[in-house]
A and B are shown apart, each in its own frame.
Chain A
Amino acid sequence: MSPTAAARQIDPPANGLPSHAGIYHYDQVDRDFLKQRVEQFRRQVARRLAGELTEDEFKPLRLMNGLYLQLHAYMLRVAVPYGVLTSRQVRQFGRIARQYDKGFGHFTTRQNLQFNWIKLVDVPAILDLLAEVDLHAIQTSGNCIRNVTSDQFAGVASDEVVDPRHYAEVLRQWSTLHPEFSFLPRKFKIAITGSSADRAAICIHDVGLIAKRDADGNVGFEVYVGGGLGRTPFIAKKLRDWLPEDQLIAYLEAVLRVYNAYGRRDNIYKARIKILVHELGIDAFRNEVEAEFARMPVAEYRLEPTIIDGIRARFASQPYEALEPISGVLARARLEDQAFNRWVRTNVAAHRQPGYAIATITLKPAGGIPGDVSADQMDAIADLADHYSFGEIRVTHEQNLVLAHVRQDDLPALWKALSAIGFGEANSGLITDIIACPGLDYCALANARSIPLAQRISERFADLDRQHHIGELKIKISGCINACGHHHVGHIGILGVDKKGVEAYQLTLGGSAAEVGAIGDIMGPALSADETVDAIESVVGVYLEQRQDGERFLDTLARIGHTPFKDKVYASH
């Protein structure tokens, strides 16, 4: 450990959690609750194994505890509240991966971690291990309010107006075992951001919240509703421009009550709130919500400032050193080492604290499986977090990790250490930073494999000079129309389809999950895996030929339209 890092560490409290990680630190009440919840699930598993619960009855119970039945085994999805973890929690993932899985875990687009090879009888023991480090799998699936997601740069981004984590934690607590909203028509996903740049993709969530401030500095929320992907993708619509902070819970209760009462239950493909909003129209939906809200005893649901303060107080702050805003060490290293310089360009973002930086660890090595991390790599990343980032690790919805508080001086050493474990790739936001769902390798619903295709594209474009020359380009792959891989909002989206029993892929262009969300347009007939890789090559070729100074892929596409791309891709057919 470097001497500076040692100086920056503080004594761990009795529970052993590094107290400077920016998570909500549990107290005894939270821990007692979690223990009881694990015991409850242990009895549910026992009842299932004893045949007292049918699989039909057990299914929603296990789903509410993150347990899916996949093609070959159970998958356990562990909640990572708004994506923030401690190094101790990550080491525990490693331990579980070794003991109960095949030695690795998989970070997902919902900022969660999944274990793919789990036995039902082991689940209670795994939940015990998770509870030891204040983690759980509560509401990571099922028709309930899911794990709330947020901006991976929360609390450190230079463009942040309000730290969304405190509100995400409010929502986590409020939604935990909610008595009224645990058997909704369908799952319900909330995302929250507090910056002008939307890194949480709020436009594709059931409810999206933007925390902001009025002229007097009061916090309030812009509320969006009815976004989602799947077979009928929608960009969320604005429900409220300003919701005062203290009404957050009351208003969300009103939204969920309208949804629970009127959401469709006759067809699971039409059961999401996006369909209700679409069928009623946003104005009629808003009227319903406002009518319910007006009837509510709002005082009883008031989110008092003291409640938020109490939660905020359980978030550690980081004891930053007073540093020069520009690091000479960093500047020299960038000049001396082109490869490092490239990594800084793509994987390092500005921190609000002078002399610090935010480092993204892309889990997308050339030819690798997006989001997969081995137990050894988890341990190594946990060590690096302890050395360089106050023992904190974050998960992004792009299946990457983030060390959010790195001294600029430490960046060269961090990059070397990351490269040594295979995660030093300078490709954040580039063409090989691919999102891919589990696809046919794991998923019973899949039409086609996603992971091997991601690997082939990643191999084809492995040359970093070329990737950097191409610039920002987001490829997202789903193995079926459920769109777990967000293909609708990929700059290039890839959807697995079944073409007369053969795996095939349909390409879309022009999607985006940024501030101005957009659903991509289908290019043309589905292609084989080989053709798909070539088609992406063609699309990139057209872009590079046509791009004008400083244009990103999306800019060129918007200027010249889709036809030149289509013509090129289908010219050889």
Chain B
Amino acid sequence: MPLIDSGKLVDDAWVRLGDDDALPAADVPVIVSLARFHKDRASLAGRNGGLGVWLASNQHPKDIADHLADFALVALDFPKFRDGRGFTIARELREHLGYRGVIRATGHTLPDQYLFLVRCGVTQVEIPEGRDPALWAHALTEIDTAYQVSVAGPLSMARLARHKTTEHAA
């Protein structure tokens, strides 16, 4: 899956492990489901590559609150672009749980949602195969005014109207 970070196409070093897949070499960063994380915590700990966890849109961030320090990446699934739970989950990870690692959106998203994702704290997006990455880059520049606080923006309502999104969209 092509990966977008800060509007640019980047290489993806992470491997998404199925629940029954064998573990790759210890320096390969892996993303596992929450179920596998709980099942294989011992063998997943102490790998050199990073550890990431994948949350379905009905899994709640409080389920991983106690383990956040273990994860260099949290992947959030968007089963359909219309399912907007991931926006609230990302914002919650940042705002309530203070998570500072990578948040990656996976599944079905549209470039038209990219700026919203970024403003909710998402850092990377796996885009569907065959889509033009330029649309994602462009999406960050389309609208540069925001009328509300967001976790990726100025952290106060001091000016309800008009934050420049470009100041913090990277």
CA A247 to CA B65, docked complex, whole Å? 27
Chain B residues with CB below 8 A from A295, complex form? 96
Cβ-based interface call for B22 (8 A): no
Q: What residue of chain A has the Cβ atom nearest to residue B143's Cβ?
A: A36
Chain B contact residue count (CB 8 A cutoff): 39
Are the C-beta atoms of B145 and A33 separated by less than 8 Å? yes
Are the C-beta atoms of A307 and B148 separated by less than 8 Å? no
CA A512 to CA B96, docked complex, whole Å? 42
Are the C-beta atoms of A182 and B84 separated by less than 8 Å? yes
Q: How many whole Å from A244's CB to the nearest CB in chain B?
A: 14
Q: What residue of chain B has the Cβ atom nearest to residue A28's Cβ?
A: B162
Are the C-beta atoms of A180 and B149 separated by less than 8 Å? no
Q: What residue of chain A has the Cβ atom nearest to residue B95's Cβ?
A: A297
Q: What residue of chain B has the Cβ atom nearest to residue A47's Cβ?
A: B135
Given A32-B145, A36-B144, A61-B112, does the pair A180, B87 have CB atoms closer than 8 Å?
yes
CA A573 to CA B155, docked complex, whole Å? 67
0/1 per residue, A173-204, Cβ < 8 Å to B? 11111111111110000000000000000000
Given A60-B82, A143-B82, does the pair A33, B143 have CB atoms closer than 8 Å?
yes
Chain B residues with CB below 8 A from A60, complex form? 81-82
CA A180 to CA B147, docked complex, whole Å? 12
Within 8 A of A (CB), among B136-170: 142-150, 155-162
Given A33-B162, A178-B148, does the pair A183, B83 have CB atoms closer than 8 Å?
yes
Q: Which of B60, B120, B149, B156 has the most CB of A within 10 A?
A: B149
Q: How many whole Å from B119's CB to the nearest CB in chain A?
A: 4
Are the C-beta atoms of B84 and A260 separated by less than 8 Å? yes
Chain B residues with CB below 8 A from A44, complex form? 112
Q: Pick the interface stretch among A82-90, A298-306, A363-371, A389-397.
A: A298-306
Q: Which of B60, B112, B158, B159 has the most CB of A within 10 A?
A: B112
Chain B residues with CB below 8 A from A304, complex form? 157-158
Chain A residues with CB below 8 A from B158, complex form? 304, 307
Within 8 A of A (CB), among B40-65: 60
Q: How many whole Å from B89's CB to the nearest CB in chain A?
A: 8
Cβ-based interface call for A40 (8 A): yes
Are the C-beta atoms of A257 and B149 separated by less than 8 Å? no
Q: How many whole Å from A7's CB to the nearest CB in chain B?
A: 34
Q: How many whole Å from A252's CB to the nearest CB in chain B?
A: 11
Are the C-beta atoms of B85 and A260 separated by less than 8 Å? yes
Q: Which of A143, A177, A311 has the most CB of B within 10 A?
A: A177
Are the C-beta atoms of A257 and B88 separated by less than 8 Å? yes
Q: How many whole Å from B114's CB to the nearest CB in chain A?
A: 10
Are the C-beta atoms of A180 and B120 separated by less than 8 Å? yes
Are the C-beta atoms of A303 and B115 separated by less than 8 Å? no
Cβ-based interface call for B102 (8 A): no
CA A370 to CA B123, docked complex, whole Å? 50
Cβ-based interface call for A241 (8 A): no
Are the C-beta atoms of B149 and A301 separated by less than 8 Å? yes
Given A178-B148, A179-B116, does the pair A300, B157 have CB atoms closer than 8 Å?
yes
Cβ-based interface call for A170 (8 A): yes
Are the C-beta atoms of A179 and B120 separated by less than 8 Å? yes
Cβ-based interface call for A1 (8 A): no
0/1 per residue, A289-326, Cβ < 8 Å to B? 00000011101111110010011000000000000000
Cβ-based interface call for A249 (8 A): yes
Q: How many whole Å from B30's CB to the nearest CB in chain A?
A: 27
Chain A residues with CB below 8 A from B142, complex form? 36, 39-40, 43
Are the C-beta atoms of B81 and A173 separated by less than 8 Å? no
Cβ-based interface call for B110 (8 A): yes
Are the C-beta atoms of A36 and B145 separated by less than 8 Å? yes
Are the C-beta atoms of B149 and A29 separated by less than 8 Å? no
Are the C-beta atoms of A182 and B116 separated by less than 8 Å? yes
Chain A residues with CB below 8 A from B117, complex form? 179
Are the C-beta atoms of B84 and A177 separated by less than 8 Å? no
Within 8 A of A (CB), among B84-119: 84-85, 87-89, 91-92, 95-96, 110, 112-113, 115-117, 119
Q: What residue of chain A has the Cβ atom nearest to residue B91's Cβ?
A: A180
Are the C-beta atoms of B83 and A177 separated by less than 8 Å? no
Q: How many whole Å from A267's CB to the nearest CB in chain B?
A: 14
Within 8 A of B (CB), among A21-67: 29-30, 32-33, 36-37, 39-40, 43-44, 52, 57, 60-61
Q: What residue of chain A has the Cβ atom nearest to residue B145's Cβ?
A: A33
CA A60 to CA B161, docked complex, whole Å? 25
Are the C-beta atoms of A303 and B85 separated by less than 8 Å? no
CA A182 to CA B84, docked complex, whole Å? 7
0/1 per residue, A405-424, Cβ < 8 Å to B? 00000000000000000000
Q: How many whole Å from A136's CB to the nearest CB in chain B?
A: 13
Q: What residue of chain B has the Cβ atom nearest to residue A57's Cβ?
A: B110
Cβ-based interface call for A332 (8 A): no
Q: What residue of chain A has the Cβ atom nearest to residue B108's Cβ?
A: A57
- Complex partner residue of A177 from B89, B120, B147, B160, CB under 8 angstroms: B147
Q: How many whole Å from A173's CB to the nearest CB in chain B?
A: 4
CA A179 to CA B156, docked complex, whole Å? 15
Are the C-beta atoms of A179 and B157 separated by less than 8 Å? no
Chain B residues with CB below 8 A from A52, complex form? 132
Q: What residue of chain B has the Cβ atom nearest to residue A297's Cβ?
A: B95
Q: Which of B82, B89, B115, B161 has the most CB of A within 10 A?
A: B161
Q: What residue of chain B has the Cβ atom nearest to residue A33's Cβ?
A: B145
Chain B residues with CB below 8 A from A30, complex form? 161-162
The 4 A-B pairs at the shortest CB distance, nearest first, are namely A183-B84, A179-B119, A179-B116, A33-B145
- Sample of 5 more A-B contacts, CB < 8 Å, known A36-B145, A260-B87: A40-B143, A60-B81, A179-B148, A180-B88, A183-B113
Can you name 10 A-B pairs with beta carbons within 8 Å? A52-B132, A173-B161, A179-B87, A182-B87, A183-B84, A183-B113, A249-B157, A260-B84, A300-B149, A307-B160
